[in-house]
Amino acid sequence: MTARAERHGDELIAHRRLTAGPDRVWAAFTSPASIAAFWGGSHATVPPGSVTVDLRPGGEFALDTRAPDGRTRRLRFVYVSVTAPHELVFDEPVTGLRTTVAIRPAGDGTELTVHQRRLPPALRTDQAAGGLAAILDALAAHLRDDEPSEKGDENVPTEPA
């Protein structure tokens, strides 16, 4: 399954069913290393050292995105509410864009909804919708690649080959 995104005026809503449980999805959205692994989707990369997370209402979440042509852009958000492991709400202070990330158990996985409100006119496009869907698909790939082993030994160091 791939993500689907819909535009409605100044809102963009994306949905993705994930095989990972809600706790792992929450950790992906709140860990700098995980955010760097998926946030750029298919259209940008995020240097791991650029991600900062101060996970509390009023705390800042920031990262750099690097486009294929090398242009870098700093994104900065301020958390409005943090309800672990179910919901994150953060604002982009320059434009007023509000993003709500809802993480809900669904069978043996998670239903993820990202709802953006007060989109600036430049983000009310099919390209922006595709970009958000690509980020959720990159998240799904990251969670698959980062799955704990069946033996439960994900925290045991491995010997070099």
Is pLDDT of 42 > 70? yes
DSSP-assigned letters across all residues of 95-121 = T--EEEEEEEEETTEEEEEEEEES--G
The per-residue pLDDT for 1 is 67
The per-residue pLDDT for 109 is 96
Tokens representing 73?
Answer: 């852009």
pLDDT tens for 60-112 read 999 999 999 999 999 999 999 999 999 999 999 999 999 999 999 999 999 99
Tokens representing 145?
Answer: 């690649």
* Record: fold of 4-145: Alpha-D-Glucose-1,6-Bisphosphate; Chain A, domain 4 (3.30.530)
Q: Which residue type, as a one-letter code, is found at position 2?
A: T
The per-residue pLDDT for 148 is 65
Q: Which of 137, 146, 142 is nearest to 14 (CA)?
A: 137
pLDDT tens for 4-19 read 999 999 999 999 999 9
Instruction: Give the integer Cα–Cα distance in Å for 94 and 75.
Output: 10
